[in-house]
Chains A and B, each alone.
Chain A
Amino acid sequence: MTITGIAALGAGMAVIGAGIGIGRIGESAMDAMARQPEIQGKIQTSALILAAFVEAVALFGVVASLIV
């Protein structure tokens, strides 16, 4: 396997991790919203921020594989 192939594999693995992470955040955010619809706005905001944090880690991986 060439170095570009390994880099592409790394990017894919980073995306798997982020997918699981954001999926879990979305799942619990939906649960919380169903339980307490009155604070939907607050939950949405924090869910978005947390998703951004998870996504940043995946993007670090993608940037690293772009540089390679």
Chain B
Amino acid sequence: MQINTLRIFLLALLCSVSFDAFASNEEDSSGEKFDPKAMIMHHVKDAHGFHLWDWNGHPVSISLPIILWTDNGLTTFMSSEFHHDFEGKHIVEKDGQKFVNYHEKIYQLKEGETTIAFDEEHHPINATQPLNFSITKNVFMMWVSVVVLLLIFVSTSRRYKKSENYVPKGIAKFTEPLIVFVRDEIAKPMIGEKKYKRFMPFLLTVFFFIWINNIFGLIPIINGANVSGNIAFTLTLAVFTFLITLFSGNKNYWKHIFWMPGVAVPMKIFLMPIEIVGMFVKPISLMIRLFANITAGHIIILSLMSLIFIFESIAVAPVSVGFSLFISIIEIVVTAIQAYIFTVLSALYFGMATEEDHH
């Protein structure tokens, strides 16, 4: 029953985004030089819609809803109303408010303005940025991965409820080894036999959520929604790890930070700032590691593909396709390794926070 509800939810989600093709107003000037940096940055960043492919010079894309909070309250419209313009030229008018999309950032133009202008520090002169709660590409893909994870794990738990003696069947045959791996190879050695159970839900969630988002990032047809290569996403996960470490920290942990036992008093004073900085550096390094690894992977693949257009020769194509295939295979391994590393390090920090005094 629950599975059916989820299926319907997924279908509704897919139907709520409209599928459309538009003639772009500007002609593609073929004499223009190919700019790999702009292309790569456009693909790595978040966007208000999935740009699928170009058909006879017309971009085909799936548009997503744009939800803005302006001075006049809530404003919503579909991203297709921008007609694939992200240079800030096409103006969408809603209730007398004018919006432009400049490099996937939505700006609200002030009264009587027709084009967006920037000063030397690249701050807009005649426009403001409204609060943007849009369902962007990354948000949408995150929802899809949540739904996929729910489908997998809800049906796994149903398998166990039905089975007689907890013998894994069906999809449980696939998920049980992974869950046992997280328990026996990550949680138990890092946190300890006694206390690991408290942290298992978080560790399992983080492991599978990062892994599935990394895998979705590699699918080219949905334009490689770069969810786990988004610094806000990794920041959120790292903040969770940080907060859990802080709140589960025992007396021994705080003593090691503020008044290191077993060393001379000058050394204690010297170590205190280092330990306090270390407390913050740990989650920051978690954040940057995942973000940089995944983004770097995307940039490498796109750079190899750009080589064809930089050299403007078909002879380069086999080389760059071959290399990007090779990098893609490495990236498949990296998806799992990064999920593993994030989980192991989180578990390590929890283990440090809950360690008992053995002096």
Contact A56–B285 (Cβ < 8 Å): yes
> Which chain A residues lie closer than 8 Å to B285 at the CB level?
56, 60
Contact A59–B292 (Cβ < 8 Å): yes
Q: How far is the CA of A55 from the CA of B344 in the complex (A)?
A: 15
Cβ proximity bits A32-60 to B, threshold 8 Å, 1 near / 0 not: 00000000000001001100100110011
* Min C-beta distance of B18 to chain A, whole Å: 35
- Beyond A45-B185, A56-B285, whether A62 also contacts B345 by CB under 8 A is no
- Give the residue name and chain of the B residue nearest to A4 (CB): B37
A48 is contacted by which of B296, B341, B348 (Cβ under 8 Å)? B341
- Give the residue name and chain of the A residue nearest to B296 (CB): A62
* Min C-beta distance of B346 to chain A, whole Å: 12
Q: How far is the CA of A62 from the CA of B229 in the complex (A)?
A: 14
Q: How far is the CA of A49 from the CA of B189 in the complex (A)?
A: 13
- Beyond A48-B341, A62-B296, whether A56 also contacts B185 by CB under 8 A is no
A52 is contacted by which of B185, B189, B341 (Cβ under 8 Å)? B341
Q: How far is the CA of A56 from the CA of B292 in the complex (A)?
A: 9
* Min C-beta distance of B295 to chain A, whole Å: 8
Interface of B, secondary structure class, is: helix
Contact A63–B341 (Cβ < 8 Å): no
B344 is contacted by which of A49, A56, A60, A63 (Cβ under 8 Å)? A49
* Min C-beta distance of B122 to chain A, whole Å: 14
Does B337 lie at the interface of the complex (its beta carbon under 8 Å from any beta carbon of A)?
yes
Which residues of chain B (182-216) have a CB below 8 Å from chain A? 185, 189
* Min C-beta distance of B26 to chain A, whole Å: 28
* Min C-beta distance of A46 to chain B, whole Å: 10
Q: How far is the CA of A59 from the CA of B295 in the complex (A)?
A: 11
Which residues of chain B (297-351) have a CB below 8 Å from chain A? 337, 340-341, 344-345, 348
B292 is contacted by which of A45, A48, A62 (Cβ under 8 Å)? A62
Q: How far is the CA of A49 from the CA of B285 in the complex (A)?
A: 13
- Beyond A59-B288, A63-B288, whether A48 also contacts B293 by CB under 8 A is no
- Beyond A49-B344, A49-B345, A62-B296, whether A56 also contacts B288 by CB under 8 A is yes
> Which chain B residues lie closer than 8 Å to A56 at the CB level?
285, 288-289
> Which chain B residues lie closer than 8 Å to A55 at the CB level?
289, 293
Q: List 22 A-B contacts (CB under 8 A).
A: A45-B185, A45-B189, A48-B337, A48-B340, A48-B341, A49-B344, A52-B289, A52-B341, A52-B345, A55-B289, A56-B285, A56-B288, A56-B289, A59-B288, A59-B292, A59-B293, A59-B296, A60-B288, A60-B292, A62-B296, A63-B291, A63-B292
Residues of A at the B interface (CB closer than 8 Å) are: 45, 48-49, 52, 55-56, 59-60, 62-63
- Known: A45-B189, A52-B289, A59-B289; 11 extra A-B contacts, CB below 8 A, are A45-B344, A48-B337, A48-B340, A49-B344, A49-B345, A52-B341, A55-B289, A55-B293, A56-B285, A60-B288, A63-B292
